[in-house]
Structure 1
Amino acid sequence: MNNNHINYIELKAKDLEAIKKFYTLAFGWNFTDYGPDYVAFNESGLEGGFERCSEDVVNGALVVLYHNDLDKIKADIVEAKGEISKDIFSFPGGRRFHFLDPSGNELAVWSDQ
């Protein structure tokens, strides 16, 4: 994995079983369940996942970058006038945070360290 590269894309879905069935049948993607509210996919060209949500999906894509030093890249983002929208949190496999760029686009950065 390379620092500062797009590494993952996260999408929203109201019904994870229906979304898995659709992408498996239509495109041959494979899925791994991580609890009742998250499923990861591969065999798509870029790995990603679907997070269960109850609200209508308006802009459901979350671009996730990789960096091996979350504290450093978080400081760099703040110094560049980005805004932290969700502070560093842990999840199975690593940690991540979300930020807003100057136009209000929300992205995330994760690390396996």
Structure 2
Amino acid sequence: MLTTQYVSGAPNWIDLGSPDVEASASFYRGVFGWDFQSGGPEAGGYGFFQKNGQTVAALGPLTEEGSDSSWIVYFHTPDADATAKAVEQAGGTVRAAPFDVFEHGRMAQFTDPAGARFAVWQSYSMKGLDLVTEPGSLGWVELYVPAPDAVRPFYTSVFGWRIEDKPFGDGNHYTMVSPAEGKGDDASMAGIVPLQGGTPHWLPYFEVADCDAAVSKAQELGGAVTMPAVDAEGVGRFAALTDPYGARFAVITSVAG
């Protein structure tokens, strides 16, 4: 499970690039009850989504010409420059070379060999998200690619992840990801899923108290359902959505455990 005790290779930040920051802030405020706190003029429109004063995500304007609105998942690294070299050596692409973000940390953005975008965050004064796995915060992430087995060597080379197939449902399996420092099933923090259509991507799951109510609210505010709510034994009830600008995300009401 995700925690805020960030270890190397674990998700520690997430942000949304939007063509309309104000409208996106309003949408997610309605769905999750988030407040948006601007980073000020020097941040170029970038700011922070907060739940009860704790940062749960971030939002900023699209900065790449021709890019689509999307959520980007960041993974903790102790050395962004070393990670950038590892990405290139493993066959990935550096989309944004490592750079410092004021005194907060150092970041870089990449594309894996399958075409899915992700980023890394090397913390200085800001370690990462303040809250995870609670309602209104990030609870899980999944990678959707056409050939999951083909990307395993890339991510194990870059982050040292442990990637294992676990039994799931009737004769099926689910590909589970854990950071190198994690031990046991409780350390799992991501999944890898075969892509059935569309472009490869990382999908964030946000925890909610009521999955169906969150889906209904998202639709009311202009979002769309890409996968209706379903139950998974031992996991919870979840659904996949897009916001009004096409950014993919999911909501989940996890079983108590």
TM-score (norm 2): 0.39
C-alpha contact 1:7 1:47 (8 A) present in aligned 2: no
State the partner residue of 1:91.
101
Q: State which of 21, 24, 38 in structure 1 corresponds to 2:46.
A: 38
**Number of residue pairs matched by the alignment:** 112
Partners in 1 of 2:89 and 2:115 — Cα distance?
A: 16
State the partner residue of 2:123.
112
Segments of structure 2 that go 5 or more residues without pairing to the other structure are 1-5, 125-257
State the partner residue of 2:148.
none
- Flag the 1:57–1:75 CA change in 2: closer, same or farther, 3 A: closer
Give aligned-pair identity as a percent. Answer: 28
Higher relative contact order (CA 8 A, sep 6+): 1
Partners in 2 of 1:57 and 1:85 — Cα distance?
A: 12
* Residue identity in the other structure for 1:51: G
Point out the structure with max Rg over C-alpha.
2
C-alpha contact 2:13 2:121 (8 A) present in aligned 1: no
- Flag the 1:72–1:56 CA change in 2: closer, same or farther, 3 A: closer
* Residue identity in the other structure for 2:97: D
* Residue identity in the other structure for 2:120: V
C-alpha contact 2:62 2:69 (8 A) present in aligned 1: no
Cα deviations by residue, 1:26-72 (Å, 9 ceiling, x for unpaired): 321132211341121133xx832111138777351211111121122
- Flag the 1:57–1:29 CA change in 2: closer, same or farther, 3 A: farther
* Residue identity in the other structure for 1:61: W
- Flag the 1:56–1:98 CA change in 2: closer, same or farther, 3 A: closer
Segments of structure 1 that go 5 or more residues without pairing to the other structure are none
Q: State which of 35, 59, 62 in structure 2 corresponds to 1:53.
A: 62
C-alpha contact 1:7 1:66 (8 A) present in aligned 2: yes
SS in 2 for 1:74: helix
Q: CA RMSD in A?
A: 2.6
- Flag the 1:87–1:76 CA change in 2: closer, same or farther, 3 A: same
Partners in 2 of 1:86 and 1:111 — Cα distance?
A: 14
